[in-house]
Amino acid sequence: MSDQERYKRLRDACLDGSATEAEMKQFSELLSTSEEFLDDYLEHAQQDATLQWYGFSKHLVQSDDPIESPRIWRGNRLAIALAASLLLILTTAWVYRSTSSPVAVARIESASNCKWGMSTVPTSFDSDLPAGRLRLISGVAKLKFPNVSVTLEGPVDMEILSRDRCRLHSGRVVGWVEPGGEGFVVETPCAEIVDRGTKFGVTVSDSGNAQLDVIDGKVDIRHLSTGRTITARGASSIQATQQEIEVVGNKVRPNQTPEASASPRRVSYISTSDGVGDEAYITQGEQLEGNDFPRPDNTLLVKHADGEPHWERKTILRFDLSKLDDAEILHAHLRLDGVATGMGYASLVPDATFAIYGLLEEYETNWDSDTLSWELFDGVYKDSDELDDEKVVLLGHLLIPQSQPEGRFILDDPRLARFLVQDSDSTVTLIVERITSGTAGPSYVHGFASRTHPTASPPTLRVETNRTAN
């Protein structure tokens, strides 16, 4: 029996009150694993409650026997509960309508094979829509705003905010902006898209990352975290994450001064796996992964806990810059992919600030990850958990939320580019340390993907230069 068939059998049993406790438990587990099942059940439960309210439900068993069976009583109790819930909804809706007149800002112009999820606005064809949430499970629906059409391609979770603004939480939409509709805004979790008269598509993943595809015309996209704005023209694409915004297609122009745009740029990506690059993490104490407890695979560890220096871990990165040759470095940022370590409890560490340091060139040695230790690394004091501030220079900070230790994190600070420019031997060493302390006990150990990680990217420098690099 497929999951779909099992779901339908259990759904009907729960609605008519014939489900056993074991079946109800199975049904609850099914609902927790599928939003589609949950939406379908809520829809059927609402329909069933409506029929029971008006006395037409086949599940509402009538009996002249005052001693009803437990199964029938359970079904009636469910009916009463559902009917009471529906009465509350209808009463609330009546009170709302009697005291407020929502202003229609859009309309469902067409709908094809649409299956709607829980929405806060009408979902019928040709319905006028006030501000509110729309969840389209499957099918295609076209919304008409003033001088703007937005087509939803299910599954989509979208929020109508006003006549000229919507918020795409997840899914895919296509917009057409007619004359007079310029300035229409599509908000996403990480970027704001402002149309300048165009046809465009927007896709938002479940993780909140967004992709803008300009089909025709011109669109501005502003990154919420950095404030960077890019103007995209026809046949171009831009991707945005919580940490950065990046061009993946042509006909795209960052908003910058003519002097800056006149200079040709080349972007190079340099990871710890390139050339003589290397990576390691060092531990201040004697309790080492692999000796006292398992070593996490393909992961660079970082931890700081006040009063527990033996748990101190810092990550050391070396990058080979020889591919840049003598090109002038204009901009650089560092990418780190956070990965789960399974070590310690995240709730014991608040939102954590990380500092990135550069090791001064005169103290840089040809260290090797196989033999590197706290005692052999020149950038730290040997008798404490601190860096030697005479041998390192601060390049910037990262903030990693307590609730999101995984994902891509980017250091975008002009001090990084200046540090790279000062290098003369084509290699640089960076140090990653956590400033924020965990509480006493097994607080979380943060981890970043190493060069051997099977899915995530290794530590990487993205470097913009003023001419073609080798």
Do 127 and 220 share a structural domain?
Answer: yes
Average pLDDT, the chain: 80
Whether residues 275 and 146 fall in one domain: no
Same domain, 288 and 406: yes
Q: If we measure between CA atoms, which residue out of 123, 146, 147, 148 comes closest to residue 133? A: 123
Mean pLDDT in order along the chain per 10 residues (470 residues) = 82 79 80 73 62 44 41 45 46 44 86 88 89 91 93 92 93 90 92 87 89 86 87 81 78 42 67 93 72 73 84 91 85 91 86 94 88 88 85 93 86 92 89 88 88 88 72
**Domain shared by 329 and 450, yes or no:** yes
Residue 272, domain member (yes or no): yes
pLDDT at position 440, please?
64
> Does residue 270 share a domain with residue 243?
no
What's the pLDDT score for residue 75? 46
Residue 259 lies in a domain: no
Q: Per residue in 315-352, pLDDT tens? A: 999 999 998 877 889 899 999 999 988 888 888 888 99
* 439 to 86, 341, 347, 442: CA distances (angstroms): 48, 18, 9, 8
Of residues 458, 433, 457, the one with CA closest to residue 446: 433
Residues in Cβ contact with 328 at an 8 Å cutoff, skipping those fewer than 6 apart: 421, 465, 466, 467
Same domain, yes or no, for 195 and 276? no
Cis amide linkage into residue 66, ω under 30° from 0: no
Domain identity same for 177 and 271: no
Q: Are 396 and 411 in contact (CB under 8 A)?
A: yes
User: Is 446 in contact with 314 (CB distance < 8 Å)?
Assistant: no
Domain check: are 239 and 319 in the same one?
no
Q: What is the pLDDT of residue 449?
A: 93
Residue 144 placed within a domain = yes
Range of the domain at 326: 266-466
Same domain for 189 and 118:
yes
- Phi (first) and psi of residue 374, to 5 degrees: -55, -45
- Angstrom distance (rounded) from CA 345 to CA 348: 6
Asked, for residue 55, whether it belongs to a domain, the answer is no
**Structural domain total, the chain:** 2
Between strands 329-339 and 407-411, the pairing is antiparallel
Q: Do 251 and 216 contact (CB within 8 A), yes or no?
A: no
